[in-house]
């Protein structure tokens, strides 16, 4: 009898000699568009043991466009991505905070703290996979999206006091977001 994906992950986390390494194949939509047969074979031969819980909110997030489509995409933070190619996320060309005085009006997206726990619970109850929380914490990338990559690197060199204020706000927001997911952890999910 083979071990279920959830048990495989538990054994792995406990260093209990699982029969194989757990896997989660993370593939950009670009690869799926360019090489659909190869990606399909890969997923068939090596199915994921780990899945992401759906990030379902009680109200739609304030986003514009599709993150993986050519054109402009505005994420829930208000960062504007320009993409020339399908299947990958674009690049932020215009900073959300171009001058440090703009920090006074900067707000983090509170909408992502309004999680639909019932939808997440239902998903977790129905899957035999190990479920990760459907939140994606990436403070350094977020900092770059807010300031643009070039300005972010200059900020790290110059280290103005506002830099630490911004990083603190990003950190505080992500801390709240993680708490929402942890507090609403259903008994059916394995993202303990």
Which of 21-30, 130-139, 164-173 has the lowest average pLDDT? 130-139
DSSP state, residue 189? -
Residue 191 placed within a domain: no
Bridge-partner residues for 148, per DSSP? none
pLDDT score for 192 = 41
* DSSP assignment letter at 57: B
Number of domains in the chain: 1
| Helix, coil or strand: residue 112 | helix
Residues 37 and 11: beta-carbon distance below 8 Å: no
Residue 113 has pLDDT above 90, yes or no: yes
In a domain, 48, yes or no: yes
CA distance 121 to 101: 42
Q: Can you tell me the distance from the alpha carbon of 43 to that of 46, in angstroms, rounded to the nearest whole number?
A: 5
Spatial CB neighbours of 99, under 8 Å, sequence gap ≥ 6: none
Residue 192 located in a structural domain: no
Give the per-residue pLDDT at 121: 85
Angle formed by the axes of helices 149-158 and 139-147, to 10°?
110
8 A C-beta contact, residue 73 and residue 67? yes
Say if 154 falls within a structural domain: yes
Q: DSSP H helical segments within the chain, as ranges?
A: 5-13, 29-34, 36-45, 117-126, 139-147, 149-158, 161-183
- Residue 32 located in a structural domain: yes
Q: Which residue has the higher pLDDT, 164 or 132?
A: 164
Stretch 125-136: mean pLDDT: 88
Read off the pTM.
Answer: 0.85
- 164 domain residue, yes or no: yes
* Largest Cα–Cα separation, the chain: 62
| Residue 92 pLDDT > 90 | yes
User: Quick check: is 107 in a domain?
Assistant: yes
Please state, in angstroms and rounded to a whole number, the distance separating the CA atoms of residues 45 and 37. 12
Domain for residue 113, yes or no? yes
Residue span of the structural domain in which 41 resides: 5-183
């Amino acid at each position: 009898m083979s071990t279920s994906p959830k048990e495989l992950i538990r054994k792995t986390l406990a260093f209990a000699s699982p029969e194989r390494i757990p896997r989660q194949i993370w593939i950009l939509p670009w690869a799926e568009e360019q090489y659909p047969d190869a990606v399909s074979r890969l997923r068939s031969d090596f199915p994921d043991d780990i899945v992401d819980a759906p990030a379902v909110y009680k109200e739609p997030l304030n986003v514009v466009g599709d993150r993986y489509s050519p054109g402009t995409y505005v994420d829930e933070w208000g960062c504007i991505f320009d993409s020339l190619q399908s299947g990958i996320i674009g690049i932020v060309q215009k900073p959300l905070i171009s001058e440090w005085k703009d920090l006074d009006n900067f707000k983090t997206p509170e909408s992502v703290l309004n999680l639909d726990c019932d939808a997440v619970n239902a998903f977790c109850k129905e899957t035999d996979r190990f479920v990760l929380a459907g939140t994606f914490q990436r403070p350094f990338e977020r900092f770059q999206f807010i300031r643009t990559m070039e300005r972010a690197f200059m900020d790290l060199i110059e280290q103005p006091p506002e830099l630490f204020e911004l990083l603190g706000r990003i950190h505080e927001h992500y801390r709240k977001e993680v708490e929402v997911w942890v507090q609403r952890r259903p008994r059916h999910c394995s993202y303990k």
